[in-house]
Amino acid sequence: MKKTFTLSKQERLKSRKRIEQLFREGKSISVFPYRVLYLPVAGAGAPLSYPLQAGITVSNKNFKKAVHRNKIKRLTREAYRLQKPGLEQKLTETGRQLMLFLIYTGREMPDFLLVKEKVQVILEKLIHRIDENHPPHT
């Protein structure tokens, strides 16, 4: 099976209702400089159009210029796009769905290597949490 490293429209978390639900009911992981909110969608409402939907934001308190916020979001999206297949595969194997929101909380402009490393740690933690909640059948 060919791996596709895309980030299509249906993979993005854009519904205001779902984002509010995620902030209200979601669990949190912190991997500096990111704070991550996630919520399994198993019984939490209507199913998603895709097994994994993600949103990304950067605080305008820490970065006043939109140019800088947008650059951090682009770097984060790219790192996420390249590394998400492992998490997607785990979700499809277990038949689960997940909403995810990455919040950049750092105060300094990161480089791509740092962002990629941190996003990898985040995705590994999420895979580990899915394994904890859904042990393999033997």
Question: Which band of pLDDT confidence, cut at 50, 70 and 90, is reported for residue 94?
Answer: confident
β-bridge mates for residue 31, sequence order: 34
pLDDT value of residue 93: 87
Whole-angstrom CA distances from 83 to 11, 13, 63, 118, 136 are: 14, 17, 26, 11, 23
pTM of the prediction?
0.87
* Least confident range of 1-5, 36-40, 71-75, 115-119: 1-5
Domain 34-130 architecture: 2-Layer Sandwich (3.30)
- 71-78 contacts at long range (C-beta below 8 A, 24 or more positions apart): 71/109, 72/104, 72/109, 72/110, 72/115, 73/104, 75/110, 75/112, 75/115, 76/34, 76/102, 76/104, 76/115, 76/119, 77/7, 78/112
Q: pLDDT tens digits for 1-31?
A: 455 777 888 889 999 999 999 999 999 999 9
Residue 136 pLDDT > 70, yes or no?
Answer: no
For 66-89, what is the mean pLDDT? 95
pLDDT for residue 1 = 43
**What is the per-residue DSSP string for 61-86?**
TT--SHHHHHHHHHHHHHHHHHHTHH
Q: Which residue would you say has higher pLDDT here, 122 or 96?
A: 122
- Provide the CA 83 distance to its chain's centre, in angstroms: 11
* pLDDT recorded at residue 138: 41
Per-residue pLDDT band for 46 (boundaries 50, 70, 90) equals low
> Would you say the C-alpha torsion 25, 26, 32, 33 has a positive or negative sign?
negative
